[in-house]
Amino acid sequence: MTTPQHGPGTAPPPGCPAHAGPEGAGARTPLYGPDFAADPAATYAHLRTYGSVAPVDIAPGVRAWLVTGYESALEVLRSPERFSKDPRRWRDLADGTVPADSPVVPMMMYRPNALFTDGDEHARLRGAITDSLSRVDPNALRGYVEQSADTLIDRFGPTGRADLLGEYGAILPLLVFNQMFGCPPETGDKLVEGMSGIFDADADSEKANAVLTEGVAELVALKRERPGADVTSWLMAHPARLTDEEMMHQLVVLMGAGTEPQQNLICNGLRLLLSDDRFAGDLAGGSMPVEDALDEVLWTDPPMANYAVHYPLHDLELDGIELRAGEPVLISLAAANTDPALAGDRRGGNRAHLAWSAGAHTCPAKSPHG
């Protein structure tokens, strides 16, 4: 690996790999722990001193590169001929440098789903997903979301106060998911427990993965026996002829994208609507600019801050940094969206944010306006 290039006569910034010997040993910035959680924006600002690509640790002993620049992020996301999504290329996991029980492995390990495949296989699996999601009646879904939201609000409304995460934002996507996918409550509980554990860096990731696998296996077996008018059954009936294993893994990726990130989006949006004078004032006046609030949240506080993992297909250069084949390259959707190089007010009606990713792996369930 090479270090970031600096102008003549300038010293590298604090923590720069140039201070730390070959491959920047000991100089990687952690993207975990209380300091990062307390002020991620400060971490991104520090990482930008390297340029648009910086060395990080995403868990203890798990090294990666983080792309913080908007244009560089687009270059990675839109270059399948240079970057793969297949984690079987992850060199440090394959050679045992990263242990199988690392907390980030369940979020990054290979699964035969549309997120972790390339080329024709990706097109086949993604086609099954997009075709099945397109069969969801948007009017019926909107009605169910409104009904579910009203039910939750009615529960805490009389008290005059609520935990908007625990009593609303964390529950609403799960109710919608169970409805869309024909998932009975008892199976839904397992799916929620397993998926929540995978997203929680402090949880037992191997146990969470086992619970999740059990839950999706139950759902697949149920729908093979009793199909219905739901996304799970439509996936099964698709001409792609998904196997049970492929069914399970498409459901995992759909649930991963449809629960935890949606909870974050709902809660971040509500926080902005209720606390920011630009929106709270309109709210009190009877006008709820929800679309503007969501646009701003998707730009400044996207529901997935750092993900979209890619692996260079061969040794290559990105913005002056030499990347070796098989090194994880994460996109900081949060940092790229707030790249100082982006000019102008991005909030009102501008949906060029990267919250839904971009390129061949852009979110298949984003709204038509996204």
Length of the chain counted residue by residue: 370
114 has pLDDT over 80: yes
pLDDT tens string 279-325: 766 555 545 467 788 888 899 999 999 999 999 999 999 999 999 99
- b/e string for 125-145 if b means 16 or more Cβ within 10 A? bbebbeebeeebeeeeeeeee
Tokens of 61: 């002993």
Residue 334, classed as helix, strand or coil, is: helix
* Alpha carbon distance 209, 106 (integer Å): 7
* Alpha carbon distance 370, 363 (integer Å): 10
* Alpha carbon distance 173, 190 (integer Å): 15
- β-pair partners for 287: none
Residue 218, classed as helix, strand or coil, is: helix
* Alpha carbon distance 24, 15 (integer Å): 9
- Angstrom CA distances, 255 to 60, 191, 261, 264, stand at 27, 8, 10, 14
* CB-based contact 170:162 (threshold 8 Å): no
DSSP state of 269: H
pLDDT tens string 153-187: 999 999 989 898 888 988 898 888 888 999 998 88
pLDDT tens string 30-77: 999 999 999 999 999 999 999 999 999 999 999 999 999 999 999 999
pLDDT tens string 226-243: 999 999 999 999 999 999
* Alpha carbon distance 202, 221 (integer Å): 31
Of 310, 357, 354, 362, nearest in space to 64 by CA: 310
pTM of the model: 0.83
Of 118, 133, 124, 127, nearest in space to 366 by CA: 133
